[in-house]
């Protein structure tokens, strides 16, 4: 098996489609199909089930994918080790939870770029769960997430602290009444959703409605319009509260603390660009 074939197999497995994998890889679709068939012929087993819902992995395919992810990760690590330089250069792909991007992470990037202008800093936002997976699969070099996290393949560095608050439309002050309103959150992977559900259970509220709103701005606007309430970091809603668009309410103490940390692979050697970012985050 060649690494190129494994990368094609990995792309088809992730995308669930020959067409989408070809687009991601910038390959001709017929070439992707041929390489998958050759790989299946070499192994003597079908790796996918072709269905009207796309390409679904067989049990053999799922087993191969686990090894493929490890092999490609090791190849990427070998490439980075070979290209290691004392001078930060090249691209640095960093993920970040949306709530921390403007308040905390953009100033970090500004300071970093003032010292290392040759580094091409790429910032991608997402939910904590998705960012963790992207760092594990080397789609990102590191990420700012809500922590702490227990994952042996990743190092975790605490960086910032914030406070989680309940927000409502202006002048709505009764906590018990607010908790009966619809809860506005990001998608299913939203980190604050579990805390909200635990809080509701503690208050004896078993029947509640959760609505998924796509971005923080939409959530704040929805709360301001009286469509519901939400749990968000105080730092990310301070401007909206100062503008009189929302009100914030302190939560019981054991729900308040938020920690934002930086995760990165636990291997021994990293690129100079990532090494310097880690060093900057460790400074007092």
User: Given this model, what pLDDT does residue 82 score?
Assistant: 59
User: What's the whole-model pTM score?
Assistant: 0.68
Measured over the CA atoms of residue 270, residue 276, residue 277 and residue 279, the dihedral's sign is positive
Residues 72, 172, single domain; the answer is: no
Domain range holding 24?
Answer: 3-82
- Indicate the pLDDT class of residue 129, thresholds 50, 70 and 90: confident
- Indicate the pLDDT class of residue 86, thresholds 50, 70 and 90: low
Q: Among the three residues 48, 82, 116, which one is the final residue of a domain in this structure?
A: 82
Q: Dump the DSSP string for 211-271.
A: EE-SSHHHHHHHHHTTS-BEEEEHHHHHHHHHTTSEEEEEPPHHHHEEEEEEEEE-SS---
Residues 162, 239, single domain; the answer is: yes
Q: At residue 188, does pLDDT exceed 60? A: no
Closest residue by Cα to residue 264 from 152, 141, 138: 141
- Per the listing, tokens 């068939």 go with 37
* Cα angle 178, 180, 186; round to 5: 85
Residues 51, 104, single domain; the answer is: no
Strand pairing report for 154-169 and 257-265: antiparallel
Q: At residue 89, does pLDDT exceed 90? A: no
Q: What Rg do the C-alpha atoms of the chain give, in angstroms?
A: 22
Residues 135, 257, single domain; the answer is: yes
User: Given this model, what pLDDT does residue 206 score?
Assistant: 83
Domain count, the chain: 2
What would the pLDDT profile of 197-253 be if each residue is shown by its tens digit?
888 888 888 888 888 887 888 999 999 999 999 999 998 898 999 999 999 999 989
What would the pLDDT profile of 32-81 be if each residue is shown by its tens digit?
999 999 999 999 989 999 888 889 999 999 999 988 888 887 787 666 65
* Cα angle 271, 75, 276; round to 5: 10
Collapsing DSSP states into helix, strand and coil, what is residue 10?
helix
The predicted model gives 73-90 an average pLDDT of 69
Residues 101, 50, single domain; the answer is: no
Residues 18, 71, single domain; the answer is: yes
Q: Among the three residues 82, 101, 125, which one is the final residue of a domain in this structure?
A: 82
Q: Among the three residues 57, 82, 107, which one is the final residue of a domain in this structure?
A: 82
What would the pLDDT profile of 131-173 be if each residue is shown by its tens digit?
998 998 888 999 999 888 888 889 999 999 999 999 999 876 6
Residues 138, 196, single domain; the answer is: yes
User: Given this model, what pLDDT does residue 77 score?
Assistant: 65
Residues 153, 125, single domain; the answer is: yes
What would the pLDDT profile of 4-45 be if each residue is shown by its tens digit?
889 999 999 999 999 999 998 989 999 999 999 999 999 998
User: Given this model, what pLDDT does residue 171 score?
Assistant: 73
Residues 40, 176, single domain; the answer is: no
Q: Which H or E run includes 142? A: strand 142-147
What would the pLDDT profile of 254-282 be if each residue is shown by its tens digit?
899 999 999 999 877 788 889 999 999 99
């Amino acid at each position: 098996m060649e690494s190129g074939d494994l990368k094609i197999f990995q792309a088809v497995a992730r995308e669930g489609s020959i067409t989408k994998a070809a687009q991601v890889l910038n390959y001709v679709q017929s070439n992707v199909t041929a390489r998958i068939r050759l790989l299946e012929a070499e192994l003597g087993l079908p790796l996918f089930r072709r269905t009207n819902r796309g390409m679904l992995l067989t049990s053999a395919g799922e087993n191969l994918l686990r090894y493929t992810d490890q092999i490609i990760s090791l190849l990427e690590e070998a490439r980075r080790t070979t290209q290691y330089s004392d001078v930060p250069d090249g691209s640095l792909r960093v993920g970040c939870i949306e709530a921390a991007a403007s308040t905390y992470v953009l100033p970090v990037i500004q300071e970093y770029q003032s010292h290392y202008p040759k580094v091409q800093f790429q910032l991608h936002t997402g939910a904590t769960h998705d960012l963790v997976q992207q760092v594990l699969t080397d789609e990102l070099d590191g990420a700012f997430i809500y922590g702490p996290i227990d994952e042996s393949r990743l190092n975790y560095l605490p960086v910032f602290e914030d406070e989680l608050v309940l927000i409502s439309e202006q002048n709505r002050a009764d906590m018990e009444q607010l908790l009966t309103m619809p809860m506005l959150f990001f998608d299913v992977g939203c980190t604050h959703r579990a805390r909200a559900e635990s809080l509701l259970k503690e208050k004896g509220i078993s029947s509640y409605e959760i609505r998924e709103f796509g971005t923080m701005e939409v959530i704040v606007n929805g709360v301001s319009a009286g469509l519901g309430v939400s749990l968000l970091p105080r730092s990310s809603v301070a401007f909206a509260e100062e503008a009189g668009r929302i009100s914030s309410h302190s939560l019981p103490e054991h729900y308040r603390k938020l920690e934002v940390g930086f995760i990165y692979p636990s291997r021994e050697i990293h690129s100079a660009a990532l090494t310097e970012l880690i060093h900057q985050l460790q400074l007092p």
